[in-house]
Structure 1
Amino acid sequence: MVAFGITALYVLLPLGIVVFVESSSIIRKVRPVILCYIAGILIGNSSLLPEGSFQVLDVISTVTVALSLPLMLISLDLSHWRELTGRAGLSMVFAFIAIMTSSALCFLLFGPRISESSKIAGLLVGVYTGGTPNMAALQQALQVNTESYLAVHTADILVGGVYLLFLLTVGRRIIRKLLPPYRDTYAEGREIEPLSLKALQAMLTEKAGLSVLASLGTALLIVALGGAFSLLFAGEASTVAAILGITSIAIAVAFIPGIRNLPHSFKIGEYVILVFCAAVGSMADFSRLLTTIPSVLGYVTAALGISIVIHLLMCRIFRVDADTMIITSTSAIYSPPFVSAVAISLNNRNLIFPGITTGIIGYAAGNYLGVILARLLSLL
């Protein structure tokens, strides 16, 4: 019953926020995705949730990620994929260079005061090019002790949460002033209309019923097939395999006009993303800061901060636009599941596909880059 109650709360929370947003002309300027993330943080760091809620939230976030990817991808016209990925690939290379450079610099700054500092640098490269699965895999590959790993992981949750909130709020405005504006020759379907109560009501009408069921049924089938594909792999590799499988199948299905033209797929996916943001926000437990080694927190903060600055500078030099920089920074630092939420905040759906694509490249490259840097720094 507790799990059911928590699930119901997070499923209905976005609906309440959408209604709340439309109740005020001032609040209406704030996108629901931002408010869901903030609401999740407030709930998670209060005493409202019962003990053991973290496991339920973890399941909710996993399910919503799996379901949102196909719902959003099947609605995209990917016939112009080359136009949508070129700059993103360049920006992702810059992100790789940035985190490798910043991790090496922080090793020189913090190394003498932290044990296993070269290995921690490797962990940071892994997590900020591919995501948590890479960091977990690198713990095993580099033989990082549990205490160091947990300290880095906790610091990453805290620092990464702050940067994500920055991107979803004022960050995009600041970066858009520093980098060229987003332009492309293919602008069809670029803008994302904010999720509204009217849009949600439209999905509940008898006329829309069949198309909504068709969208959900297609997404569930894709998730099931992607999940079956992941069973061929063991451990953390299964997570990467599941995302690869779901993404690949959804991309293939998006080329079928009858499915791509289902009218409500993207909006359903957007609502699912709101549930995801609320759940992830609630998992960011700021009380963990008290148990994190201060020097490790400084290490992680400096590594991420310096890498973002380097990424920005390289994008400015090579004229990469602001939206592409933001989406590739998201796919590198947070992994593909967060791309849709940030694309929605940017009001640019064209970036979902290149963001997920570059994020998958990050999954593939993260372990290699992490091991290489850790081995090189251990020689110093």
Structure 2
Amino acid sequence: MHSLIKPEDTWLLLGFLTGWAAASIYLEQKYRWAAKISGAVIALFGALILANLNIIPAESDVYDAVWTYAIPLAIPMLLFQADLKRIWRESGRMIVIFLMSSFGTVIGVYLAFLALKDRIPHLDKIGAMMTGSYIGGSVNFAALSAKFETPGELVSATVVADNVMMALYFFVLMAIPAFSFFRKHYPTPHIDDFEREAGKNPDAAPSSFWRRKEISLKDIAFTFASASVIAAVSFKLAEIFDGLIPSGDQASFLMNTLNGMFGDKYLMLTTVTVIAVTVFRKFFGNLRGAQEIGTFLIYLFFVVIGVPASVPLLLKNAPLLMVFVFIIVFVNMAVTLITGKWLKFTLEEALLATNATIGGPTTAAAMAAAKGWDRLIVPALLAGIFGYMIGNYAGSMMGYFLHALL
């Protein structure tokens, strides 16, 4: 069926993609109802509605350009803070509980896959995406959906299910410190400190983490140039390794595994970025705006994945996917709280670790700021960034493992 805007109307479609991504960000930051829904879902549903009304086309080279260029540029930009030395120095303790929480994600994906693999198609691919997403974040979700070529309607349904679950999850997460059971069984030094300060000064507000940042033309130029060079080097290296390391039905399991690790462009992109950022930490540490630009590019991805989504298929798949992500989130939280208690972590550290895996670095830092746990803001943020680093590896390995179980 023909659409009002034709696939070859490049500038109209580009204007729609960037405009709607910008509008989604504005609504999320301006209105509480939009923040509860999340900008990602607003971006997805706007495109879904217009595509199903045949206003925009279901396929176009403009959409392909987002997969081809925007995502590979977003990945390094969002990893420019991933200095391994700094992460361990400032967040070593948080990283330990974060890894336990990540292990909870892997267990949760495995159990959810076993329970629903006969009910949901391509669940191995969805499991890979959610492993990466619930250890890292949206950038890992985007990279793994591209890597495993997950059907667009399932990607859209997964985003919807994920965001509904996230709303419920954050409500529970923010409420847990108020329950006496958890205060009784876990040390809560940061909560106690905040309550003492609040008692002395009732008008004191939690510290503000989000603020407008200075950014220069040089920052923008170096951000795009660095991301482009890293992507070019990474993809060329992956191409070389893919040609050198045999793969396929005739190759051994070891060779296929090595090809998957070194011949995959997204894993190589992650590896090269982390090495570059760790070696040249001063250069990348001084760049401003990379996080914001990278996040905007990810919003373009959310608009694009809403385009091919069919409303009937979305309504059919989203409820089952809700069950799938619920199992993952529940197991993640349970493993985090149990291991946190066993390893004598504080309640605040355990809650921020599970938040950093399920929600990502920004939500973890925002929770620490909102709760007044000032000393945990940076560790929570860095733990989430560490998740960006390992999310693609964990998701890829899980995808291959789950596919073998089908």
Q: Structure 1 length normalisation: TM-score? A: 0.66
- Determine which of 39, 42, 47 is the counterpart of 1:38: 42
- Structure 1 297/311 Cα, relative in aligned 2: closer, same or farther at 3 Å? same
What displacement does 1:36 show? 5.7
Task: Please give the alpha-carbon distance, in whole angstroms, between the structure 2 residues aligned to 1:292 and 1:42.
Answer: 14
- Distance in 1 (CA, whole Å) between partners of 2:49 and 2:261 is 31
What is the percentage of aligned positions where both structures have the same residue?
Answer: 9
CA 64–217 in structure 1, closer or farther in 2 if over 3 Å, else same: same
* Structure 2 partner of 1:95: 105
2:223 to 215, 228, 232: 215
Alignment of 1:285-300 (within 5 A): 288-291=310-313, 294=316, 299-300=320-321
Tell me, in whole angstroms, the C-alpha distance in 2 between the residues paired with 1:310 and 1:343: 18
- Per-residue CA deviation, residues 144-185 of structure 1 (Å, 9 max, x unaligned), is xxxxx96xx744531432313553x564343233478998xx
- Structure 1 unaligned spans of 5+: 140-148, 184-189, 331-338, 375-380
Q: Note the alpha carbon deviations across 1:87-113, whole angstroms, 9 max, x for none.
A: 222212111211222332346xxx5xx
- Compared with structure 1, are the counterparts of its residues 101 and 64 closer, same or farther at alpha carbon in structure 2 (3 Å cutoff)? same
Summarize the Cα distance change of 1:50–1:65 in structure 2 as closer, same or farther, 3 Å threshold.
same
1:260 aligns with 2:268: no
RMSD value, Cα: 4.5
In structure 1, the residue matched to 2:12 is 5
Q: Deviations over 1:301-332 (max 9, x none)?
A: 433322322222222222362332233336xx
Distance 2:37 2:233 in 1: 28
Q: How does 1:10-159 map to 2 (within 5 A)?
A: 10-13=17-20, 27=31, 34-35=38-39, 37-46=41-50, 47=53, 49-53=55-59, 55-82=61-88, 83=92, 85-106=95-116, 122=124, 125-130=127-132, 154-155=153-154, 157-159=156-158
Partner secondary structure for residue 270 of structure 1: helix
- Determine the structure 2 residue equivalent to 1:177: 175
Q: CA distance change for structure 1 residues 240 and 342 in 2, over 3 Å: closer, same or farther?
A: farther
* Equivalent of residue 271 in structure 1, options 266, 272, 293: 293
Contact 2:24 2:39 in 1 (8 A): yes
Q: Which residue of 1 aligns with 2:382?
A: 350
| C-alpha displacement of 1:38 | 1.2
Q: 1:359 — aligned with what?
A: 391
How far does residue 41 in structure 1 lie from its aligned partner after superposition?
2.1
Q: Alignment partner for residue 227 of structure 1, among 214, 229, 235?
A: 235
1:323 to 327, 349, 352: 352
Partners of 1:30 and 1:121 in 2: how far apart? Answer: 29
Matches of 1:177 and 1:364 in 2, distance apart? Answer: 34
Q: Kindly provide the amino acid, as one letter, of the partner of residue 100 in structure 1.
A: Y
Partner of 1:79, secondary structure, is: helix
Alignment-mate amino acid for residue 3 of structure 1: T
SS at the partner of 2:306? coil
The counterpart of 1:242, out of the listed 265, 270, 273, is 265
Provide the aligned length of Structure 1 versus Structure 2: 325
Would the alpha carbon gap of residues 239 and 32 (structure 1) be closer, same or farther in structure 2, given more than 3 Å must change?
Answer: farther
When residues 318 and 49 of structure 1 are mapped into structure 2, their CA distance, relative to the original with a 3 A threshold, is farther
Matched residues in 1 for 2:276 and 2:208: separation?
22
Q: Is the 8 A contact 2:43 2:302 kept in 1?
A: no
In structure 1, distance between residues paired with 2:227 and 2:143: 24
- Structure 1 residues 174 and 371: CA distance shift in structure 2, 3 A: same
Following superposition, the deviation at residue 261 of structure 1 comes to 3.6
Mapped partners of 1:36, 1:305: distance in 2: 19
Cα distance, 1:370 vs. partner? Answer: 0.9
